[in-house]
Chain A
Amino acid sequence: MSAKFNPQQEKNRLEELTTRILEQSKRVGADACEVAASASVGLDVQARLGQPEKLEMTRDQSLSITVFLGESRGSASTTDLSDEALHSTLEAALAIAKVTAPDPAAVLASHDQIIQSVPNLELDHPWDIDAKQALELAIEVESFGRQADSRITNSEGGSVSSTRGISVHGSTEGLLVSQPTSIHGMSCVLLAEDGESRERSYAYTQSRHPDQLWSAELVGREAAEKTVARLNPRKCQTAEVPVLFIPETASGLLSSFVSAISGGSLYRKSSYLLDRLGTDVFPSWVSLAENPLIPGAMGSSAYDSDGLPTRQQAFVTDGVLSSYVLSLYSANRLGLQSTHNAGGVRNLFFKGEKDFKTLVSEMGRGLIVTELMGQGVNLVNGDYSRGASGFWVENGEIAYPVHEVTVASNLDRMLKQDLVAVGSDIDLRRSIATGSMLFEKMMVAGS
């Protein structure tokens, strides 16, 4: 199926459309114009109880146009890339630009700001797998999971997916760049039963390179282990106790932190970290930096969504907030310079020295949070309250599974005062990745 996507051909097609629209935009009276186009082809299969269940071929494309009339702008997008559709999309964007209020902060990256040459970050790797082979692999993942433990009684299936795509970005300031990417994955969702207790859990692997995926056996077995471990949970007592977030749940905390230092939250005064540049936001042993240029990594990109080159840079240095996360627009709104982060941070890793077992033993008594439910994060004031399940720890060892509890605190207090340690067990499947995070205390509400 990989053979059916030709990145070079798609790049040429989308670049040609982009260039044409940019030229047309001038003819219809736009002062400036920006085009973002993308196309992707993918395979998504699922097997359940040893049988194929779903075979899906995905083929998506879209193109969005932003035009400027003086300081006013309008945007329109389409999935139909025919000449007629593109023309009417351009007209729609123009019609909007005629009625919107001027926004001096909205400007295109100028010619000397935009990336000059795009390095190859090796983000596109075909997976030579056809639908039949993918279904066989999905069956295999699931069967490793189902065979791993007799308490696995049911399944929502194993799945395999593979997508390749390309995005093109152009502007009347001379920008015309593209990046091909691929994402491949495998996952498994299992159900376990023991007496009255019924639980589900899952495991997944995801990578830009098919060779870096975990084996089917590892995914299946991890899904089984996680599911069985949740059986016969209890509700713990309501109390303020130490809480340890595993990497999968801790990465959400780091994402919330990144949102709170992002331009959009700041110029809307909707962040608990407003006006905190240069002050302590983490303990002094914490530094956080992004590295967008790691070859083959999930979060890598050579340029941001304004077309500015990305760069390795720190946001937190020795616990102090050293930089916000800004796009051209939000920087203009705040009277600052862009940090080349339009579209967010890329490959922000937070890793410590201690392994998970050491953290559990240091915690002594408290709650390990392995799963979170609901939203419950208020970025305006940092208030945090979410549903949780996981494990109770007594004498530095896991005692029993816990469910139906909430964990509550305030993000500012958690990250600045209560963060005790971060683990070495970093989860690199995500762009914002962290090891386990141990907090001195949170309010756990149970029975």
Chain B
Amino acid sequence: MPTLLQQVSESILAPGGLVLDDLESLVGELSVGDVDFADLFFERAEAETYSLEDGEVKDASYHRDAGVGVRACSGDKQGFAYSSEITAARIREARDVAIAIQDGRGTRGGVNLDQVSTPKLYVAKNPIPEKSATDKIAFLLDIDAKARAKSPHVQQVQATLSISYREILIAATDGTLGADIRPLVRLSVSVLAENNGRRERGSAGLGGRYDLDRLLTVEHADRLVTEAVDQALVNLESVDCPAGEMPVVLASGWPGVLLHEAVGHGLEGDFNRKGSSFYSGKIGQQVASKGVTVVDDGTISDRRGSLNIDDEGHVSQRNVLIEDGILVGYMQDKLNARLMGVAATGNGRRESYAHLPMPRMTNTFMEPGEATQEDMIQSVDRGIFAVNFGGGQVDITSGQFVFAASEAYLIENGKVTAPVKGATLIGHGPQVMSAISMIGDDLALDPGIGVCGKNGQSVPVGVGQPSLKIDRLTVGGTA
């Protein structure tokens, strides 16, 4: 049985006539002049997507991609080039571009690569060939039937099965030699319901780094159909959302997108090294209510945001960002950690070999407290109970962030009443984090659907939180 490193290097390097032993000299050739760190990032990826619409799977696609990214760092400068041909000649061409970021010439000699010992947080296999196309299609057809059976108001059902598989191999001048195999699967359902001429959408999804046997279950199909149809039906009854500042109770799980925007991005090392984040220089200061502990954890088994090693070959970690309201740490990649004189935290991530790594989140969540969701709702005279969200966005310099509720209800006199139309919520990161007055005992992670964008690069992430009561948040309704 070959090791993971042997398997990955054979698969990625052999087609271009390279072997694992070639990497020491190829990386060594980057160790020149004023280059103080350099790496090669190899990748081979496959993805398959099946889409159901109009009760049929008429559309499916397959994509394959492979290549190598070559990076040289000198101080805070980075030179980078990549190639979709993995050969020694192309790597050397890319090297010549990358090292042009600095003027030094002398070579500094050999690099000894040492294999990173890699945890096994998820199954190291390709989910794509695991099931036949016919089985995958049959599963989606079943979702369609279930959704239509659920309510006569359901007019359209769309379901998508996305399966991706990635092999990565990293060799760096600091001696890092790492490999990983990353499966990623996701199932999503969107329905359109119509009643008395009014149309509304509901959607749900789930996934993670696991195989298709675990993804394509009857229980998952039922859950997604129920969530999507219920959400659409609720939205058919929704009334105009109020506008202005009011208390907001957030449900557990996916609403943790709050933390991703209000806290997460602002604590990424690159922004803090440059002093461009609202949180820059605030380590040790109170930035959230007491009791608020926020963690970024790439080590949770099978989660969408988890990584055995990050894209720089650093083993994933559990990093506490805010502890009992006090800012205690940033998320770092190797470049920013080195420039700030701190340790890397396993947060160096990149969309692909054709992109430069940056500090990015993995699974970001808040530790639970002791309150119940019921208590939170009872404590509100007039406010919003937000159950489900679309995406969010943050301006890390001013601290201003938004996230958009896709399923929400009015709270009137301590009781959940009418559903309200989707609305954007806006606030200021540290102010909102300090307005958290109750933390639930019901921590939940999201179902495995998150995608985070930064500087044009997308990576899969997770979020999570217990139910939260925020005393004051601006709700962007129309009423």
Binding site for B on A (CB under 8 A): 48, 51-61, 72-80, 85, 88-89, 92-93, 95-96, 99-103, 106, 131, 154, 156, 191, 198-200, 230, 233, 235, 238, 268-270, 373-376, 378, 380-381, 383, 385-387, 389, 403-410, 443-447
Contacts and interface: CB of A to CB of B under 8 A. Distances in A.
B242 to A, nearest CB: 9
A198 B396 CA distance: 10
Nearest to B55: A101
A225 B359 CA distance: 30
15 contacts: A56-B79, A80-B64, A92-B64, A96-B61, A96-B133, A198-B398, A373-B401, A374-B402, A376-B402, A376-B422, A408-B243, A443-B243, A445-B244, A445-B475, A447-B245
Interface stretch (B26-34, B81-89, B208-216, B313-321): B81-89
Interface stretch (B111-119, B167-175, B270-278): B270-278
B76 interface: yes
Nearest to B275: A154
Given A95-B133, A447-B474, A374 B243 contact: no
Nearest to B71: A56
A37 to B, nearest CB: 13
Contacts of A375: 390-391, 404
Interface stretch (B193-201, B283-291, B325-333, B368-376): B193-201
B244 A238 contact: yes
A406 B424 contact: yes
Interface centre among A268, A387, A443, A446 (most CB of B within 10 A): A387
Contact of A79 (B67, B94, B476, B479): B67
Contact of B476 (A96, A381, A445): A445
Given A58-B354, A198-B397, A270-B201, A387 B426 contact: yes
Question: Chain A interface mostly helix, strand, loop or mixed?
Answer: strand
Nearest to B398: A199
Interface string B46-60: 000000010011111
A376 B274 CA distance: 31
B56 A101 contact: yes
Interface of B: 53, 56-67, 76-85, 94, 97-98, 100-101, 133-134, 137, 155-156, 158, 192, 194, 198-201, 241, 243-245, 274-276, 278, 354, 356, 390-393, 395, 397-398, 400-404, 421-428, 474-479
Contacts of A72: 58
Contact of A383 (B244, B401, B422): B422
A380 B200 contact: yes
Given A55-B97, A103-B56, 17 more contacts: A75-B59, A79-B67, A100-B57, A199-B397, A200-B398, A373-B393, A374-B391, A374-B393, A378-B201, A383-B422, A385-B423, A404-B427, A407-B476, A408-B478, A445-B243, A446-B244, A446-B474
A386 B60 CA distance: 34
Contacts of A76: 61-64
A151 B198 CA distance: 51
B391 A55 contact: no
A376 B58 contact: no
B398 to A, nearest CB: 6
A297 to B, nearest CB: 23
A384 to B, nearest CB: 9
Contacts of B57: 99-101
B426 A54 contact: no
A53 B78 contact: yes
B474 A404 contact: yes
B163 to A, nearest CB: 13
Contact of B478 (A59, A60, A443): A443
Contacts of B94: 57
A78 B62 CA distance: 9
